[in-house]
């Protein structure tokens, strides 16, 4: 019965192309389509492949010895895929001519910078035999993604008109700032236990504190957006922003874990720390897919009509 109803809706959706309110019915049809598009399918395959690989390293000791370094070097393919996908859909949103276009491009750049950091780290560690290349060239990518994510969040705020919502309900801004500050305070307290600057370079000390601080900023922005989007675009933005916030939180946890393990000299390739980064890349890529799905409007509407303008 449900299949018959869907078939009738499908047929009717094309009938309405010839009448004045065809945009509305195209949106209805779009929301009824299969949600597992090609990008989601590719992401799912990558997730299952690398997760199986990572689990295998814990099941077999011989497999672990041979494959952990390789796994650490190649799982960044997910970030590469997410970055390329984001840039490929940015044209639909006018590239840098619209707030949404800018946000998607910057999120994509953030993923590509993460992949640069992964490749540089693997090169220095595996080929140049630098035991722990931190701080070093890889941090150009790893730390460089932070301002990209912050700016992406700011452009989403502008494109979705969050500023006017905050002015009416400033409590949303206060909560969006207070929660990340609490997370940051707990992180610093946990991290600073036993922390010593002896033997550390100025660059290492800077990155030790700058990573959590910078990431707390984009977590705060994402939380403010989440608290404000419940009714925007019919509520379609809530899930994508929730996934984006989750991606930011997992990225925060990944970098904090790296700093903590570095201080305690327990970091190693292909272990749970790398899997946290892998999860961050998967979640960020999925957030781009869901953002594109939620923001998708009829083809007749131009990029300038999709948001408030640049």
Are 287 and 218 spatial neighbours (Cβ–Cβ below 8 Å)?
A: no
Q: In this predicted structure, what is the pLDDT of residue 61?
A: 63
More confident call, 183 vs 24: 183
Q: In this predicted structure, what is the pLDDT of residue 26?
A: 38
Q: Is the pLDDT of residue 11 over 70?
A: no
More confident call, 295 vs 71: 71
Element (H, E) at 52: helix 38-59
Q: In this predicted structure, what is the pLDDT of residue 226?
A: 81
Are 80 and 112 spatial neighbours (Cβ–Cβ below 8 Å)?
A: yes
Q: Is the pLDDT of residue 310 over 60?
A: no
State pLDDT tens for residues 160-215: 888 777 777 777 778 777 888 888 887 777 777 667 788 888 999 999 889 988 88
Q: Is the pLDDT of residue 32 over 80?
A: no
Q: In this predicted structure, what is the pLDDT of residue 96?
A: 85
Query: Residue 59's Cα: distance from chain center in Å?
Result: 30
State pLDDT tens for residues 265-279: 888 888 899 999 999
Q: Is the pLDDT of residue 5 over 50?
A: no
Once rounded to an integer, what is the mean pLDDT over residues 297-308? Answer: 42
State pLDDT tens for residues 46-94: 999 999 999 988 887 666 666 888 898 899 999 999 999 999 998 888 8
State pLDDT tens for residues 109-147: 999 999 999 999 999 988 888 888 899 999 999 999 999
Q: In this predicted structure, what is the pLDDT of residue 233?
A: 53
Are 232 and 165 spatial neighbours (Cβ–Cβ below 8 Å)?
A: no
Query: What is the DSSP track for 108-176?
Result: HHHHHHHHHHHHHHHIIIIIS--S---SSTHHHHHHHHHHHHHHHHHHHHHHTTHHHHHHH-THHHHHH
Once rounded to an integer, what is the mean pLDDT over residues 7-11? Answer: 39
Q: Is the pLDDT of residue 15 over 70?
A: no
């Amino acid at each position: 019965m449900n299949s018959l109803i869907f078939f009738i809706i499908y047929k009717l959706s094309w009938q309405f192309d010839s009448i004045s309110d065809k945009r509305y019915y195209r949106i209805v049809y779009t929301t009824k389509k299969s949600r597992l598009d090609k990008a989601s399918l590719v992401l799912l395959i990558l997730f299952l492949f690398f997760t199986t690989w990572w689990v295998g390293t814990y099941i077999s000791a011989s497999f672990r010895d041979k494959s952990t370094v390789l796994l650490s070097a190649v799982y960044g393919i997910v970030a590469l895929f997410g970055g390329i996908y984001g840039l490929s859909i940015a044209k639909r949103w006018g590239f840098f001519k619209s707030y949404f276009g800018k946000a998607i491009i910057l999120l994509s750049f953030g993923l590509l910078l993460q992949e640069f950091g992964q490749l540089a780290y693997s090169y220095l560690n595996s080929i140049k035999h630098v035991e722990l290349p931190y701080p070093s060239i890889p941090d150009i990518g790893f730390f460089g993604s932070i301002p990209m994510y912050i700016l992406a969040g700011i452009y989403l705020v502008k494109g979705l008109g969050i500023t006017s919502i905050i002015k009416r309900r400033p409590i949303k801004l206060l909560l969006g700032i207070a929660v990340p500050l609490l997370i940051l305070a707990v992180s610093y307290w946990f991290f600073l236990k036993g922390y010593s600057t002896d033997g550390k370079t100025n660059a290492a000390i800077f990155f030790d504190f700058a990573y959590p601080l910078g990431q707390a900023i984009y977590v705060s922005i994402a939380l403010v957006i989440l608290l404000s989007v419940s009714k925007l675009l019919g509520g379609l933005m809530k899930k994508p922003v929730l996934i984006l916030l989750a991606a930011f939180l997992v990225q925060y946890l990944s970098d904090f874990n790296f700093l903590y393990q570095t201080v305690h000299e327990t970091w190693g390739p292909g272990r749970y720390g790398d899997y946290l980064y892998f999860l961050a890349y998967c979640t960020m890529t999925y957030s781009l897919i869901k953002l594109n799905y939620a923001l998708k409007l009829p083809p007749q509407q131009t990029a300038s009509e999709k948001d408030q303008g640049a």
